[in-house]
Chain A
Amino acid sequence: MSFLTPFAAFGLLRLLSNFRPVDAAAVSAHYGSISIVTFIAATSALGRQSVPYEGFMVGVAAAMETPAILAALLIAQRSSNGTVSEPGELWRHSFLNGSVVILIGALVIGVITGQRGAMALKPFVLDLFPGLLCLFLLDIGILVGRGLEQGRKYLTAAAGLFAVLVPLCGAAAAAMLSYAIGLSPGGAALFMTLAASASYIAVPAALRLAMPQANPSIGLTLSLGLTFPFNLVIGIPLYIWAATQIIR
């Protein structure tokens, strides 16, 4: 899904906007990948509502981080004169970037330490978590505000529509897939959140190496300035509600 989303997003963005193909490909990569902060906010919302979810969804998040970058490179190569710089470095950056390593590492540590490890870390990762998340989101909020100010020239109505439409379409596709593969309502809500979220940390940095000719401000403005707050305020409650309605 992470690999296919950029193709659909690219087509939609080319239809709605007059961005250069290489810029549209770069923006599409943001939307195929995921935002781990949005994912964490969704797990927190599920926790508050006592909706259980599959533990392996963290692994799904890690797996969805990077295929979008490769898809965007394919799009850029096919649709423009975009060239891929240093493919070896790109692969290393895509599959061994900090967030992927931490996610997989945390998963392995969780499997090894089990319930005992979870209990030992409970005061830090469970009790303090809502407060830390709150502070982090407030900080990100400032970043979003600054990003919107700096990238306002890219905030056209079409770009705004794209930044809302792609998450909703992604979430709808993920809902159908969740139903087909038998995820729980909580797992489906998380999968929808992952499909709806857009990267603003790992992918932009990787794209600066892979597609330096793409304008980095466009994708960042849309993913961080529009899609991220949309998902937090409207998306996550909507995805949880939809998942619990669709999957019973």
Chain B
Amino acid sequence: MQTFSKKKIEVIIEAPALKKVVQAFDTRKIIGYTIFPVQAGSGHEGRWDATGLVGDMGRMISVMCVLDAAELDAVLVDIEKIIRTQIGIVLISDVQVIRRDHF
């Protein structure tokens, strides 16, 4: 089957700053992304677990977006400004998709 090369951005960001990340995609007219809750993990401050938390504080959210390579740099510039001060990480990877026109 023929597949097509695209870029995948995964942003794992503290929940209070989620809106900023979503706005970064929206501003660039990138309409396809998926948001996942993140349960637990470990980082610079040690282990954390979202179980039982009330409110956004302490929660992490993952935003996954597949897009064309031509759009990548502009979005990354916006996301880097967010991640510079907020808690989170950004991962970029090469992926293959089946339906090119969806991304």
* A146: B residues at CB distance < 8 A: 49, 52
23 A-B residue pairs with Cβ-Cβ distance under 8 Å, sorted by A, are: A98-B55, A139-B52, A140-B54, A143-B52, A143-B53, A143-B54, A146-B52, A150-B48, A200-B54, A200-B57, A201-B54, A201-B57, A204-B58, A205-B16, A205-B57, A206-B16, A208-B14, A208-B86, A209-B17, A212-B17, A212-B85, A216-B87, A220-B58
18 new A-B contacts, CB < 8 A, other than A202-B55, A216-B87, A220-B57, are: A89-B19, A142-B52, A143-B52, A150-B45, A150-B47, A150-B48, A201-B57, A204-B58, A205-B56, A205-B57, A208-B17, A208-B57, A208-B87, A209-B16, A209-B17, A212-B86, A216-B57, A220-B58
Say yes or no: is B46 at the interface (Cβ < 8 Å to chain A).
yes
User: Complex Cα distance A212/B97, Å?
Assistant: 36
- The secondary-structure label for the interface of chain B is loop
User: Complex Cα distance A139/B53, Å?
Assistant: 9
User: Complex Cα distance A206/B19, Å?
Assistant: 13
How many interface residues does chain B have, given as a range? 20 to 34
Residue of B with least CB distance to A215: B45
- Interface 1/0 per residue, B36-54 and A, CB below 8 Å: 0000000001111100111
Is there contact, CB below 8 Å, between A217 and B45? yes
Q: Which A residues are within 8 Å of any B CB, using their own CB? A: 85, 89, 98, 139-140, 142-143, 146, 150, 200-202, 204-206, 208-209, 212-213, 216-217, 220
* B56: A residues at CB distance < 8 A: 205, 208
Instruction: Name B24-38 residues within 8 Å CB distance of A.
Output: none
Instruction: Name B50-88 residues within 8 Å CB distance of A.
Output: 52-58, 85-87
Is there contact, CB below 8 Å, between A85 and B57? no
* B16: A residues at CB distance < 8 A: 205-206, 208-209
CB-contact partner of A201 in B14, B47, B52, B55, under 8 A = B55
Is there contact, CB below 8 Å, between B46 and A150? yes
User: Complex Cα distance A206/B16, Å?
Assistant: 7
* B49: A residues at CB distance < 8 A: 146
User: Complex Cα distance A183/B58, Å?
Assistant: 37
User: Complex Cα distance A71/B12, Å?
Assistant: 30
Report B97 CB to chain A, min CB distance, Å: 34
* A-B pairs with lowest CB-CB distance, top 8: A204-B57, A212-B85, A201-B55, A208-B16, A205-B56, A205-B16, A205-B57, A143-B52
